[in-house]
Chains A and B, each alone.
Chain A
Amino acid sequence: MLRLRHFKILFGGFILVVLVVCGVAAPLLAPFDPQEQRLEARLQAPSWIGGNATSNWLGTDNLGRDILSRIVYGSRISLLVGATTVLLAGLIGCSLGAIAGYFGKGADEIVGKITEIFLAFPFLLLAIALMAFLGQGLINIILALMMSRWVQYCRVVRGEVLSLKERDFVTAAKALGGKDFYILVRHVVPNTLASVTVVATFAMAVVIISEASLSFLGLGVPASIPTWGSMLSEGRSYMNRAPWLTIFPGLAIFITVFGINLLGDGLRDVLDPKLRRQV
């Protein structure tokens, strides 16, 4: 019988695959150019809710641009920011966590203090602060989200490494003359990958929502690039006349994040049930 956790992984994974396909094949999938303005077809409602936009399935915005195409292209930013941030933050967080956990003492102390300072800021607020000073831009948003997100990896990996380094296989590797760095990279870190995968999945969901939030606040990528958050922000002014401008991009964010969270839940149940209390 298909267990619930398998269903979660399959369904969540399916949504993630759809996102990846949309992002990678956006030029093939989008029915229109996302930047093409047709002022004669401004704010047209989709035909299936009684509007007269027949070829624009999700209607058009205030400049006559196709909403569906903009959502498809918008997935690129979500995906790019989500994946890059999760990878980079993972790399930094895992390295520092592994070093702190394995070598302990001074290293642990220093890393501990740094994490404490970063943890003193609520995650999104730190990202808002960084963006306020760094200014809009794709690289900046990845940088800001990465700097606010690495701490979670660091804490989980440090905890795992602390217990792993006491295990017999590490003692055996040491007895055979293995160098610390070799043991850490070859024997200890690979054993943390299950937990890291779970943390990364949840982080991806948080990062995607955060990117959308920052874009919504006008602190994300430049307005010329279509993103779900900025579409929502632009659509707000036309909410009463054209609610589809805000409904559909919001649904896109919600479905994506829901899918990834579902995947994370399923992966956690399968790979690492003890993380339940932490993520």
Chain B
Amino acid sequence: MTKLARRIIGAIPVLLGISFLVFLLLHLAPGDPVLLLLGDDATPAEVARVRHQWGLDQPLMVQYWQFISRAFLGDFGMSLKFGEPVTKLVLERLPATVELALVSLTVAILIAIPIGIYSAIHRDSLLDHAGTGAALIGVSLPNFWLGIMLIYFLGGQLNLLPVAGRIEYGIEIKPITKLYLLDSLLTGNFEAFWSVLKHLLMPAVTLGTALAGIVTRITRSSILEVMRQDYVMTARAKGLSERVVIWRHILRNALITVITILGLQLGALLSGSVITETVFSYPGIGDLLIQSISVRDYRLTQVLILFFGASYFIVNLLVDIVYTFVDPRIKL
């Protein structure tokens, strides 16, 4: 437990480092962010007013202190372009991204783990080569191109699936968790459920394909590694059936690695969501990030990046901690 505490305390400087790096980004920007925002025809008085309003006329460390002490209380200021509190904007859109990430993760797991297991157990078979080839293709496909192609073929040519948004216009969902799939199920609104699912399918495949490729490769190689271990040979020598050897001795051990990798791949999902949400005009925080960048709302951009970085770091920390419970041999 002391190690756990140490690990959590050790996370604090890293989180502070992340916040400082993100804070510095604003000052890295070439030119004056205030001028960029107000345009060239702003009067010096206006510029000075906004600069004062943002606290940009204060020394750097004072600005950082103000930024971090307010952030600690959940106050990230107002978005200048949207005219709303940044926290509200982020929280409004967060459930959409979480839902997309979870569905993509599910798609990736459902595709990748069976292929990975089959490939490893039937190593060097024709289907193994097909599986590993497909995984390499998955890793190499640029997700924005895949998204556009899906929109063109499935959305445009075949007219099978909706190409943008989260739910059909006019269908209402009573918000409980704000995860539409879950809410529509909880309220028994199957029309909405079907609509949300249809809207999620193409973005989820777009986002999940690369992840599926990575997970297939990791699953296959970690099973192959476990298969070489002495205890597997012992299990076989004891005369256990192949089924028991595979399920109880090989998969259990190999999948621990896969679970960790899944945790680490959350980063890829978050970055991928930025692109996927842009391609599908999906109203999540990735789409918000690109919007905020394009209208040069530096404050919102800064907070969103901080949010992405911090949540990725915290999830990784949680994965590490959970991992020690799953496999007691691992030390933090």
Whether A associates with B in a native complex is yes
Number of A positions contacting B (CB below 8 A): 44
A261 interface residue (CB < 8 Å to B): yes
**Chain A, 210-237, CB within 8 A of any chain B CB:** 212-213, 216-219, 229, 232, 236
From 274 to 327 in chain B, residues with beta carbon under 8 angstroms from any chain A beta carbon are 274-275, 278, 289-290, 293-294, 298, 301, 305, 308-310, 312-313, 316
* Distance between Cα atoms of A132 and B278 in the complex (Å): 15
In angstroms, how far is the closest chain A Cβ from the Cβ of B27?
A: 9
The answer for the CA separation of A246 and B271 in the assembled complex, in Å, is 22
- How far, in whole Å, are A129 and B275 apart by their CA atoms in the complex? 13
Q: Which of A18-26, A39-47, A116-124 contacts the other chain?
A: A116-124
B188 shortest CB reach to chain A, Å: 37
What is the CB-to-nearest-CB distance from A275 to chain B, in angstroms, rounded to a whole number?
11
Contact B145 A254 (CB under 8 A): yes
Q: Kindly count the residue-residue contacts between A and B in the assembled complex, taking CB atoms under 8 Å apart.
A: 131
Known: A121-B309, A132-B293, A240-B156. A213 touches B142 (CB 8 A): yes
Contact of A117 among B14, B143, B267, B272 (CB under 8 A): B14
CA distance A213 to B146 in the complex (A): 12
The answer to whether A129 touches B305, judged by C-beta atoms less than 8 angstroms apart, is yes
Q: Number of contact residues on B: which range applies?
A: 35 or more
Please name all residues of chain B whose beta carbon is closer than 8 Å to the beta carbon of A218 when the two chains form the complex. Answer: 294
Q: Please report the C-alpha to C-alpha distance between residue A261 and residue B274 in the assembled complex, in whole angstroms.
A: 23
Known: A122-B312, A213-B142. A236 touches B136 (CB 8 A): no
CB distance from A198 to the nearest CB of B (A): 14
Contacts of A276 in B (CB 8 A): 221
A128 touches B289 (CB 8 A): yes
Contact B26 A250 (CB under 8 A): no
CB-based contact B30/A134 at 8 Å: yes
Asked if B140 contacts A261 (CB within 8 A), the reply is yes
Does B171 sit within 8 A of A, measured CB to CB?
A: no
Please, what's the 1-or-0 string for B18-35, where 1 marks a CB less than 8 Å from any CB in chain A?
100110011011100000
B298 to chain A, nearest CB (A): 8
Known: A134-B30, A239-B152, A243-B152. 9 other contacts (CB 8 A): A117-B14, A132-B25, A133-B29, A133-B298, A212-B144, A216-B144, A229-B144, A240-B156, A261-B136
Among all A-B residue pairs, the 10 with the closest Cβ atoms = A122-B267, A250-B145, A124-B271, A258-B140, A117-B17, A120-B313, A122-B271, A257-B140, A133-B29, A132-B293
